[in-house]
Amino acid sequence: MEKKRCDFCFGGKATKKSLLYHDTRWCKPEHRDGELYAMLVLEGMQAGVSWALILEKEENFRKAFDGFDPKTVSSYDETKIGELLRDRGIIRNRSKIEAAVSNARAFLKVQEEFGSFDAFLWGFTGGKVVDHRLTDVRDMPARDDFSEKVSAELKKRGFKFVGPTIVYSYLQGVGVINDHAVDCDFR
């Protein structure tokens, strides 16, 4: 018997990668700082393009951005940014690439202050998952008061490409928010 997935499941245009992401990563609690930074970059890169495209290019991003190591990315200079702008395997948008670099620097400052980015991020919920227990995909917001609060705090700390809509998607992507439908077998 086929397992039931959230009925939005990528607008009927599901790929193997998007289904795997839905089934194994989306809305699943993530606590590894490296992956929390990686998802921050990927969500920022997604602005204005489809998530399916980001997933198709994810391995290229991981290679181009040195495995999303924030310490390494924080040291990128104009030469490295120029290389990334010529890399056809990723989204070649100067603002987004520069945001990944400045976000790495802000990320490291948060780690220094809180001990980990994980402690900072999950501190907003006391370490608990926000589970909206959705029965209808139309009830899923693009943003909410919580994502606006996290967005404001990130912006205050110097992060870029972290508006409330991107942050809401990020919070889903790292499992702080669980928006799997209640009848989804991958909750």
Q: Domains of the chain: which residue ranges?
A: 17-22+29-178
pLDDT score of 9: 60
Known active-site residue 21: yes
pLDDT score of 6: 86
What is the topology classification, in CATH, of domain 17-22+29-178?
A: Endonuclease III; domain 1 (1.10.340)
- 172, 27 in Cβ contact below 8 A? yes
Query: Looking at the predicted structure, is the pLDDT value of residue 148 above 90?
Result: yes
Rounded to an integer, the average pLDDT of 112-126 is 98
Reported pTM: 0.95
26, 30, 37, 43: which one is catalytic? 43
Known active-site residue 30: no
User: Residue 187 and residue 178: Cα distance in Å, rounded?
Assistant: 8
CA atoms within 13 A of residue 80's CA, in its CB half-sphere: 13
pLDDT band at 131 (very low <50, low <70, confident <90, very high): very high
Which of 19, 43, 170, 33 is closest to 115 using CA atoms? Answer: 33
